[in-house]
Amino acid sequence: MARNPDAQAVRDEESSTTAMGAKPAPREVPTGFAAIVAKIMALRIVRTFMHYAAQGGALLAAGMTYQAVFALFAAIWVAFSVLGFVIASDVGLQEEIFRAINSAVPGVVGETGLIQPSALTKSSGLTWTAAIALVGLLLTAVGFLASMRDAIRRIFDMPPLAAPIVVQKLKDLGLALGFGAVVLVSAALSVVSTAALGFAFELVGIDRESLFAVIVARTIGYLIVFAIDLATLAAAFRILSAIKIPPKRLFAGAAIGAAALGVLKAGVTLGLVGGTGANPLLAGFAILGLMIFLNFACQAMLISAAWISVGMKDSAIDPRSLSDEELEVEHATKLEEARRLVARSNLEKAKEEYRNARGFRKWRLKRQIESDAREEAKRREAVPTDAEMESDPKLKKDAPSTR
């Protein structure tokens, strides 16, 4: 360890943090147009989009879109291969499942969609093609969920989830099956709600084809889809990504994302988003419309995650699920950094006094600086920084448990 006060002063890297007790420079308050710009930039929605862009949200959404396209088609093919015997004789249930799929991803199944209903209803059990699709589904679904998890954690400024690879993949597979079950549940809810509404309208003497009945039925349908999207996003943020989010903030952000997805789906239905229109050059590339929708949907998910992240930062809420021991280590690390900052500030002050002193006082200050430098060096040897431990394995081995 260095005993020279000049060497001691440059031992640590330069820091821009203000020392404790120092008076900050007066902050200039913007006026006029600059004040308007400052107010706009301080809005949470603006900071949300800035945070989304800074974390590479568009690029993350593009990667999720690539995985989602393959996972979607494999999931639909496997589902109808497995459930073919169950729904083959129930045309009504088939229609509700098609409607549930299209409510999640509009325009996928239908006479004018990417997949013809007849191609799915003709599936006859677990054939070779279904077996191949099942393998593809396992790979693509797990890959999609892994990319979704990493993207969401990056939006929250968190590193990739550290967990055993087998446990992580099994968890992703379970969630993939859960998301598939959501589609079946939404189809069942649609059947039940339709029957219940029809029965209620008959009791009060309202025609099912009346404007009022249609509005009520569609409103309930939209609410069901909204609730499913909200639950799916909340599960993606909290369970899949393993991020500690307060329930109020979690469901508020998930509601924003679910509302955005609802607007996107309405846009697809109206031909405003993802449609190829009457352009003959694009007629054979309907898959592009699906990719555009999926990309917008992934961006809506990540933007809602950014909204939650910015709000948690504003309230100083830590999204990490740290144990008591980890919190103690982090507290010790911050305390050590503060101590080093104060020591550096005191050293600089003593050196300034030394340069201005004369005679015996200068000699005493020199002795005091050298003594303080030796004491600080001993203390730092006992509590090394992370960078010092990485550069010297012996320090890492002998470091106290609180570091």
pLDDT in tens, 311-370: 999 998 888 766 667 667 767 777 778 888 888 888 888 888 878 888 888 888 888 888
Q: Which two tokens stand for residue 366?
A: 């020199």
Answer whether residue 20 shows pLDDT above 50.
Answer: no
Which of 46-55, 78-87, 247-256 shows the lowest mean pLDDT across its residues? 78-87
Model's pTM, two decimal places? 0.68
Q: Indicate the residue type of 193.
A: S
b/e map of 84-116 (b: 16 or more CB within 10 Å)?
beebeeeeebbebbbbbbbbbbbbbbeeebbbe
Name which of 195, 185, 181, 84 is nearest 130 in CA terms.
84
Q: How far is CA 110 from the centre of its chain?
A: 32
Q: Which two tokens stand for residue 370?
A: 């050298």
In Å, how far are 345, 371, 380 from 12, measured between CA atoms? 12, 18, 11
Answer whether residue 126 shows pLDDT above 70.
Answer: no
Asked if residues 229 and 258 have their Cβ atoms less than 8 Å apart, the reply is: yes
Name which of 193, 188, 187 is nearest 213 in CA terms.
193
pLDDT in tens, 346-362: 888 888 887 888 888 88
Cα separation, 296 vs 284, in Å, equals: 21
Q: What is the DSSP letter of 116?
A: -
Q: How far is CA 213 from the centre of its chain?
A: 39
pLDDT in tens, 229-279: 899 899 999 988 889 899 999 999 999 999 998 888 877 766 555 554 444
Mean of pLDDT values over 137-147: 80
Q: What angle do CA 235, 134, 79 make, to 5 degrees?
A: 65
Asked if residues 320 and 158 have their Cβ atoms less than 8 Å apart, the reply is: yes
Coil, helix or strand at residue 304 = helix
Mean of pLDDT values over 167-194: 74
Mean of pLDDT values over 201-220: 81
% helix / strand / coil in the chain, to the nearest 5? 75, 0, 25
Asked if residues 268 and 106 have their Cβ atoms less than 8 Å apart, the reply is: yes
- Res 365: pLDDT: 80
- CA neighbours within 13 Å on the CB side: how many for 48? 18
Answer whether residue 1 shows pLDDT above 70.
Answer: no
Coil, helix or strand at residue 115 = strand
Coil, helix or strand at residue 338 = helix
- Res 196: pLDDT: 81
Residues with Cβ within 8 Å of 399's Cβ and at least 6 positions away in sequence, in order, are: 383, 384, 389
Q: Which helix (H) or strand (E) holds 62?
A: helix 57-87
Q: Which two tokens stand for residue 162?
A: 């550290």
Q: What angle do CA 73, 74, 80 make, to 5 degrees?
A: 90
- Name the CA radius of gyration of the chain, rounded: 30
